[in-house]
Amino acid sequence: MSQARVFLLPDLGEGLTEAELVAWHVSVGDTIVVDQPIAEVETAKSAVEVPSPYAGIVTELHGKPGETLDVGKPLISVTPLFTGVAGGADADDAAPAPSPDDHAASSMSSGSGRPDATPGAASSAPAASEAAAETYREEEKAGSGNVLIGYGTPGGHGVARRTRAPKAALSVVEPVETKPVNTTEDDLSLLRTRVPGKLGAVISPLVRRMAREHGVDLGGLQGSGDSGLIMRRDVEAAISTPAVEPAETRRTPAVEPVETKTADPRTGLAVSARTPVRGVRKAVAANMARSRSEIPEATVWVDVDATALMELREGLKAKGGEAPGLLAFIARFVTAGLKKYPELNTRIETAEDGSQEIVSFDGINLGFAAQTERGLVVPSVRGAEKLSARELDAEIRRLTQVARDGKATPAELGSGTFTLNNYGVFGVDGSAAIINHPEVGILGVGRIIDKPWVVNGELAVRKVTELTLTFDHRVCDGGTAGGFLRFVADAIENPTSLLADI
């Protein structure tokens, strides 16, 4: 019996140390190929489908949906299908792979003692086994090139190459050692689980042992695998289903149990639910707590007359063109402001000896807060200083949709250098936002509403919004923060001065 290869949960990017197991795409006993998605996990930044770097039979799943797994810990164990392939398994130890005509490969030794044996099968078995093993080796070499930290497949063409061996090669798999055929209780159980009309729809020894230990009659089970193959999940379902007592022996309890809720010791109220903090919510909580504990933040704000910006946008729409969204216009003003006040586009790094450095960047990755079903995430527009308002609008829309679909990459969610937060969409005017660690500033935009405003000495009704800047006081003082905020406010009040590139 060969040793199973254990696939460890890889580093999914950005140095993440854990991931929540959302769902398995395979079960124990399933036959998988290289690059086949085996599980969906949710990191602190996105949902990811993990492909298998190995092909073979799934022998163990290391975790249950909802559990948090550490990077570098076992995720799945896979036993190779054939001997001579990376320490592959005996034919009697692995569930058979289906052949092109949907007939599963038999795990019984060839020869006259086998009911479906054919003349000459014994002499051709070694060659057939080697051909099948070669096919297996070719499939493992045909990966798509998916790169997982610590793993990888060499292909790189996007689709795994499947090479089929001749039908005879897949119909017989010979064990390394020839053993006399003994009719045992286990062999009888094996034969009883054949599907009529199929040559080798049998169960693996692992599943047979589980059934034997729990007293499950395999002859009465309907397999859920290919060609009626009985899988581990079928036996587990039979174990978990209680036997039905005869009607005359069943008793009805005199008192029905009443579900009680645990009382909270502090409030005395019943606890209605407990929700684990994990996934995106766990990452947000940790990041916000770190920001509050490490960053000495300060906040400045200003009311802004956005009437001219609103009129500019309406004018573009009236001309029949596609007008960028208001957030894209403000993003354009923010990138111009960060060029003038680069102190707010930095990061503080602390060395092991406690010394600190302010790290400046040659470029701006502008993050923006996006609300999704999985919680608040902050995708970032990379190289935002190079983009026009229209280009910023297109990228913001793309990243918002990707984030809401849960498909944003770690690089898209963890590379920002400054964050723009439009909380006005929630109907609020202002907020003392928490800085997105390890950045040093975040600009919030409130709702745009009609307010009385003095224009040229006269009172008028104008479209007014509030800008709020929260900044790390270690990297700059109030003069720099106020200068940046005033720059963005002036650009909103006089948008044509900065929007020649729209």
The 3-class SS string of 247-276 reads CCCCCCCCCCCCCCCCECCCCCCECCCCCC
Structural domain boundaries of the chain? 5-181, 279-497
pLDDT for 295 beyond 70: yes
Q: So what CATH class is 5-181?
A: mainly beta
Q: How far is CA 475 from CA 341, 365, 433, in A?
A: 11, 18, 18
Cβ(287)–Cβ(356) below 8 Å: no
Q: How far is CA 405 from CA 47, 244, 372, 381, in A?
A: 9, 45, 8, 17
177/91 Cα distance (integer angstroms)? 10
Task: Work out the average pLDDT over 415-424.
Answer: 95
Handedness of CA 30, 31, 34, 35 (dihedral sign): negative
14: confidence class by pLDDT, cuts 50, 70, 90: low
Quote the longest CA-to-CA distance of the chain: 108
Alpha-carbon 217 to chain mean position: 39
Between 435 and 1, where is the model more confident?
435
Q: How many CA atoms lie within 13 A of 120 on its CB side?
A: 4
pLDDT for 203 beyond 90: no
Backbone angles phi, psi at 202, to 5 degrees: -120, 170
- 187 is written with which tokens? 């062999």
Q: Enumerate the β-bridge partners of residue 359.
A: 347
Backbone angles phi, psi at 363, to 5 degrees: 140, 170
pLDDT at 336: 96
21/92 Cα distance (integer angstroms)? 32
Q: How many CA atoms lie within 13 A of 182 on its CB side?
A: 5
Nearby residues of 44 by Cβ (< 8 Å), 6 or more positions away: 16, 18, 279, 280, 282, 283
Between 257 and 378, where is the model more confident?
378
Task: Work out the average pLDDT over 103-113.
Answer: 41
Cβ neighbour number for residue 269 with a 10 Å cutoff: 9
Q: Tokens 């402001």 map to which residue?
A: 337
Q: What share of the chain is helix, strand, coil (3-state, %, to 5)?
A: 30, 25, 50
pLDDT for 489 beyond 50: yes
The 3-class SS string of 42-84 reads ECCCCEEEEECCCCEEEEEECCCCCCEEECCCEEEEEECCCCC
Of 44-58, 94-108, 270-284, the one with minimum mean pLDDT is: 94-108
CATH superfamily for 279-497 is: Chloramphenicol acetyltransferase-like domain (3.30.559.10)
Please choose, from the candidates 338, 303, 359, 347, the residue with its C-alpha nearest in 3D space to the C-alpha of residue 420: 338
Cβ(2)–Cβ(89) below 8 Å: yes
144/353 Cα distance (integer angstroms)? 44
The residue annotated as part of the active site, out of 103, 157, 437, 473, is 473
pLDDT tens by residue, 370-419: 988 877 889 999 999 999 999 999 999 999 999 988 888 888 888 999 99
pLDDT at 284: 79
6: confidence class by pLDDT, cuts 50, 70, 90: very high
226/37 Cα distance (integer angstroms)? 18
300/277 Cα distance (integer angstroms)? 32
- 435 is written with which tokens? 């800085």
Q: Enumerate the β-bridge partners of residue 256.
A: none
pLDDT at 439: 96
145/67 Cα distance (integer angstroms)? 28
pLDDT for 429 beyond 60: yes
Active site residue 214: no
Cβ(234)–Cβ(241) below 8 Å: no
- 106 is written with which tokens? 């038999």
452/462 Cα distance (integer angstroms)? 6
Cβ neighbour number for residue 377 with a 10 Å cutoff: 26
Q: Tokens 């290391």 map to which residue?
A: 62
pLDDT tens by residue, 116-165: 444 444 444 455 556 555 555 555 555 544 545 445 554 443 333 344 44
Task: Work out the average pLDDT over 5-9.
Answer: 90
Between 261 and 439, where is the model more confident?
439
pLDDT for 188 beyond 60: no
199: confidence class by pLDDT, cuts 50, 70, 90: very low
Task: Work out the average pLDDT over 3-23.
Answer: 79
111/33 Cα distance (integer angstroms)? 30
Instruction: Please state, rounded to an integer, the average pLDDT across all residues of the chain.
Output: 76
99/226 Cα distance (integer angstroms)? 11
pLDDT at 206: 63
